[in-house]
């Protein structure tokens, strides 16, 4: 199993006054040195309610990722996940091609159908129904792949988007497409048709196993290769040597968020001792998950240290 880090928060309890980009770059360098293969940022304009507050420091993903790319060598970089409505698809494809060039071929297009209606309202962007958003995501992927693989200039005409005589140079070298989301009828069907990778940012092994069964069924219907799709899962992760302490730290780290901590009787993710987290990851490994992504509240350093020292080698 490979390991990634979803950098959802720009809060650092151990360095609250340091510029966020400095802490983020340093975290990426450390993760790369410890063998993590993936780092992602969120494609939003302010912090999400289950991660923090709207007035928290928040960096644009496609501005920050090139800075991280320049300070790292091997770790893959992308958004988890890009909203197809915040940028023109041609401009998005151009942005990813640039990130791939700057990073030396490490860019990944992580994309979803969009969901955070408050941001749409704030930017006066139309918020279509779910089927329309899904079709727009599909066309965005088609445009990006056309720009990246066909000789310039490229034209494309869909029901929602078009590009005319569009130049994209230099061409990227095979940017993978990751689709994020668990909608079984639309999102997982699109994953079977378009994606190189799939991600769900929450869920226990039983939940993920059910989603993978649905995805495999869509692949069978469409004649695509289920085994060729890299399966990735994220969980909120807090680790301590004692389980009670881990949950207490989780509550402290998430108390400041708009939604507050998930109740103890519900699934909190990978919260517990190193052995408990390793057991959870073994469950993911058993059902065919390829990459586990840590989602660490406030970038808690001790959690990452324990994960590196006691979990990574046990899975």
For the chain, the structural domain boundaries read: 2-314
Q: What is the mean pLDDT of residues 203-219?
A: 98
The conformation of residue 82, written as its DSSP 8-state character, comes to B
What average pLDDT does the segment 218-225 reach?
98
* Class (C level, CATH) for 2-314: alpha beta
What number of other Cβ atoms are within 10 A of residue 280's Cβ?
22
H or E element, residue 252: helix 243-254
What single DSSP character describes residue 310?
A: I
Average pLDDT over residues 111-126: 98
Place of tokens 């030396």: 104
**Per-residue pLDDT tens digits for 28-72:** 999 999 999 999 999 999 999 999 999 999 999 999 999 999 999
The torsion angle over the Cα atoms of residues 168, 89, 177 and 234, rounded to 10 degrees, is 140
d(CA 270, CA 280): 7
Query: Tens of pLDDT along 177-191?
Result: 999 999 999 999 999
Per-residue pLDDT of 133-146, as tens digits, reads 999 999 999 999 99
pLDDT for 92: 98
Q: Residue 150 is encoded by which pair of tokens?
A: 């066909």
> How many CB atoms sit inside 10 A of residue 155's CB?
11
How far apart are the C-alpha atoms of 197 and 11, rounded to whole Å? 28
Q: How far apart are CA 149 and CA 71, in angstroms?
A: 28
Joined tokens for residue 190: 């699109």
Angle at 289 between CA 175 and CA 194, to 5 degrees: 35
The answer, yes or no, to whether residue 16 has pLDDT greater than 90, is no
Burial of 101 (0-12, 13-18, 19+ CB in 10 A): middle
Judged against a pLDDT cut of 90, whether residue 232 lies above it is answered with: yes
* pLDDT higher than 90, residue 209: yes
Structure tokens at 268: 């909190």
In this prediction, residue 14 carries a pLDDT of 81
CB 237, CB 205: distance < 8 Å? no
Tokens of 32: 């790369």
Q: In a 3-state reduction of DSSP, which class is residue 288?
A: coil
Give the Cα separation of 139 and 163 in Å (integer): 11
At residue 13 the predicted structure's pLDDT band, cuts being 50, 70 and 90, is: confident
Q: What is the C-alpha to C-alpha distance for residues 21 and 39, in angstroms, rounded to an integer? A: 14
Can you read off the two tokens belonging to residue 175?
A: 């940017």
The span from the CA of 106 to the CA of 2, in Å, is 16
Distance CA 79, CA 87 (A): 14
In 3D, which of 259, 136, 127, 284 has the Cα closest to residue 202?
284
């Amino acid at each position: 199993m490979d390991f990634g880090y979803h950098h959802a928060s720009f809060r650092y309890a151990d360095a609250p006054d340091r510029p966020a980009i400095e802490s983020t770059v340093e975290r990426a360098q450390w993760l790369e040195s410890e063998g993590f293969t993936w780092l992602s940022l969120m494609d939003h304009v302010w912090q999400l309610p289950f991660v923090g507050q709207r007035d928290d420091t928040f960096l644009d993903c496609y501005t920050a990722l090139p800075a991280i790319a320049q300070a790292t060598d091997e770790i893959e970089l992308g958004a988890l996940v890009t909203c197809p409505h915040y940028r023109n698809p041609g401009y998005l494809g151009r942005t990813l091609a640039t990130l791939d060039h700057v990073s030396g071929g490490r860019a990944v297009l992580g994309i979803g159908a969009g969901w955070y209606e408050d941001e749409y309202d704030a930017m006066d962007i139309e918020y279509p129904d779910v089927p329309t958003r899904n079709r727009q995501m599909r066309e965005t992927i088609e445009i990006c792949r056309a720009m990246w693989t066909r000789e310039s200039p490229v034209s494309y005409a869909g029901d929602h988007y078009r590009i005319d005589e569009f130049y994209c140079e230099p061409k990227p070298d095979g940017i993978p497409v990751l689709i994020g989301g668990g909608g079984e009828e639309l999102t997982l069907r699109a994953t079977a048709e378009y994606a190189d990778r799939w991600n769900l940012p929450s869920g226990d092994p039983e939940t993920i196993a059910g989603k993978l069964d649905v995805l495999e069924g869509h692949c069978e219907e469409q004649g695509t290769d289920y085994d060729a799709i890299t399966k990735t899962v994220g969980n909120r992760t807090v680790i301590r040597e004692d389980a009670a302490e881990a949950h207490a730290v989780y509550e402290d780290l998430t108390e400041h968020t708009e939604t507050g901590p998930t109740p103890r009787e519900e699934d909190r993710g990978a919260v517990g001792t190193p052995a408990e987290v390793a057991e959870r990851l073994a469950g993911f490994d058993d059902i065919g998950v390829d990459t586990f992504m840590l989602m660490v509240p406030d970038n808690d350093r001790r959690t990452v240290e324990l994960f590196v020292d006691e979990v990574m080698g046990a899975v």
